[in-house]
Amino acid sequence: MLITGTADKGKCIGKTESGQVVFVEGVAPGDVVDVLILRKRKGFLEGRLQNIKSLSKERVEPVCKHFGVCGGCKWQHIPYEAQLRHKNDTVKNALQRIGKVDVEAFEPILGAAETEYYRNKLEFTFSCKRWLEADELNEEEISNRQDVLGFHRPRVFDKIIDIDHCHLQPAPSNEIRLFVKEKAKELGLSFFDIRENQGYMRNLLIRTSSLGETMVVFSFHEDEKDTREQLLDAVWEKFELTSLCYTINTKKNDSWYGLDVLVYKGEGVIHEQLGDVKYKISPKSFFQTNTRQAKELYDIVVEFAGMTGHENVYDLYTGTGSIACYVAKSCKQVVGIEEVEAAIVDAGKNAAMNGIENTVFYAGDVKDILTDQFAEKHGKPDILITDPPRAGMHKDVIEMLLKLASPKVVYVSCNPATQARDLNLLSEKYEVKKVRPVDMFPHTHHIESVALLQLKD
């Protein structure tokens, strides 16, 4: 079968002899392959690569030695221009097929200047079980009982790929991860076994910033002060960190977002800057993970919003107020809403740190906070910016937006399908003036897209 193009979620697409569409992973457009059909779905098939007969001339050499095993950068073997073409088409197709909306101006995708070392945050997992690669399984003495630190093998919850070098985050991310792994072993600390729910070392989060700051957060399974401090002191001594934090996670799952994070050394935050706006980022705060492209994204928001300095702006799903603070100087006031209370506290701090006095932030679900009374209190928006999570906006929020009838809506989305669905619902009162996709995550299928909607006459 000839692979003809890229498809959603990092897969590629081909056709059987009878013309049925097949989705398959680990191939590139132009490859000729044998595929084992695993599942029949409505209108398409899902297959697994069995054998590559000939490689596409378009393929490029993946830069990472973990490519193909680690699920992080599935498209490293596809030229970046081809990745961008696919992402551009994904947004366009979603608007046509799901949104069924006419777009007055579809602006071409904005690619990233840096396709490696672009992330400011990575989280690694400790495990006492290493994922073995296919060729290792034939080795007689091999055992997966090894202490490792890295990423999950896709769809495997209890084995970790031991990452030697990751091309996603700049220095000192790799250096810290490798040092921590060796130091923990030297100190005799046990690595976590998720099946047995035992072991000391669980997770390692590293945040870096374009200002040269670094934050390290550990998740330990047990609360043992001496052991913990031996490791933390060694890390603090070895690297110039801005903040060193930890949490104790005794739960059965790795998520530590509901737990208290304690500061061991430093202020407990790092700083980032977009344009002339500075941001304080706490361990658990949401912050756009590609700093350089975040500025490009926000500049498109500013351009689409076309503010004159007099507008009342709403910023829905404001996170730590990143967009709100970025646009504050261009308008009369910004009203931000976000459900995570800690993020709203950070949003207030971010505004204060930048001397911004025309923002106000509310914590809560947008569908509960954004009411008629809220709009009466703050005045109806002249521009409404919305940046929801992947699920898009709740239908009650859409209804409220139709009621508020803000002259302009700027919709930032990380999921073209839900953005298209929401634009369709909003098309009752709005026309789509402009759309521009932005690539925040090279070598992955993820794509961000900004749409400008204007109230119909």
CB of 266 to ligand SAM, least distance (A): 23
Among 176, 204, 206, 323, indicate the residue that binds ligand SAM (CB under 6 A): 323
Residue 330's closest CA among 317, 350, 315? 315
Q: Which is nearer to ligand SAM, 339 or 439 (CB)?
A: 339
300 to 233, 333, 448, 451: CA distances (angstroms) = 43, 19, 12, 10
Contacts of 153 (CB under 8 A, 6+ apart): 69, 70, 71, 131, 159, 160, 161
Locate tokens 């069995």: which residue? 50
Q: Which is nearer to ligand SAM, 90 or 285 (CB)?
A: 285
Contacts of 146 (CB under 8 A, 6+ apart): 128, 129, 130, 162
Q: According to the binding rule CB under 6 A, does residue 365 interact with ligand SAM?
A: yes
Q: Which is nearer to ligand SAM, 56 or 406 (CB)?
A: 406
Residue 210's closest CA among 146, 139, 117, 111? 117
Q: Applying CB under 6 A, which part among 22-30, 311-319, 344-352, 420-428 lies near ligand SAM?
A: 311-319
Q: According to the binding rule CB under 6 A, does residue 318 interact with ligand SAM?
A: yes
Q: According to the binding rule CB under 6 A, does residue 242 interact with ligand SAM?
A: no
Among 304, 317, 361, 362, indicate the residue that binds ligand SAM (CB under 6 A): 317
CB of 149 to ligand SAM, least distance (A): 28
CB of 301 to ligand SAM, least distance (A): 9
Q: Which is nearer to ligand SAM, 30 or 319 (CB)?
A: 319
CB of 256 to ligand SAM, least distance (A): 16
Residue 120's closest CA among 301, 240, 270? 270
Give the bridge partners for 133, in sequence order. Answer: none
Q: According to the binding rule CB under 6 A, does residue 343 interact with ligand SAM?
A: yes
Per the residue annotation, which of 73, 245, 325, 414 is the catalytic one? Answer: 414
Q: Residue 321 has what DSSP assignment?
A: T
Among 147, 296, 311, 339, indicate the residue that binds ligand SAM (CB under 6 A): 339
Residue 414 is a catalytic residue: yes
Q: Which is nearer to ligand SAM, 120 or 288 (CB)?
A: 288
- The Cα–Cα gap between 342 and 349 comes to 11
Q: According to the binding rule CB under 6 A, does residue 361 interact with ligand SAM?
A: no
Among 35, 340, 344, 401, indicate the residue that binds ligand SAM (CB under 6 A): 340
330 to 301, 308, 315, 436: CA distances (angstroms) = 12, 7, 14, 21
Q: According to the binding rule CB under 6 A, does residue 351 interact with ligand SAM?
A: no
Q: Applying CB under 6 A, which part among 150-158, 197-205, 333-341, 376-384 lies near ligand SAM?
A: 333-341
Q: According to the binding rule CB under 6 A, does residue 322 interact with ligand SAM?
A: yes
- The Cα–Cα gap between 186 and 55 comes to 44
Q: According to the binding rule CB under 6 A, does residue 346 interact with ligand SAM?
A: no
Q: According to the binding rule CB under 6 A, does residue 366 interact with ligand SAM?
A: yes
- The Cα–Cα gap between 264 and 287 comes to 22
Q: According to the binding rule CB under 6 A, does residue 286 interact with ligand SAM?
A: yes
CB of 348 to ligand SAM, least distance (A): 15
Q: Applying CB under 6 A, which part among 54-62, 161-169, 314-322, 418-426 lies near ligand SAM?
A: 314-322
Q: According to the binding rule CB under 6 A, does residue 319 interact with ligand SAM?
A: yes
- The Cα–Cα gap between 253 and 88 comes to 36
Q: Which is nearer to ligand SAM, 311 or 339 (CB)?
A: 339
Subset of residues 370 to 429 that bind ligand SAM, contact rule: CB under 6 A: 387, 389, 414
Cβ(382)–Cβ(355) below 8 Å: no
- The Cα–Cα gap between 399 and 404 comes to 9
Residue 20's closest CA among 1, 39, 43? 43
Cβ(78)–Cβ(10) below 8 Å: no
- The Cα–Cα gap between 344 and 233 comes to 32
Q: Which residues are catalytic?
A: 414
Q: Where do contacts with ligand SAM occur on this chain (CB under 6 A)?
A: 286-288, 317-319, 322-323, 337-340, 343, 365-366, 387, 389, 414
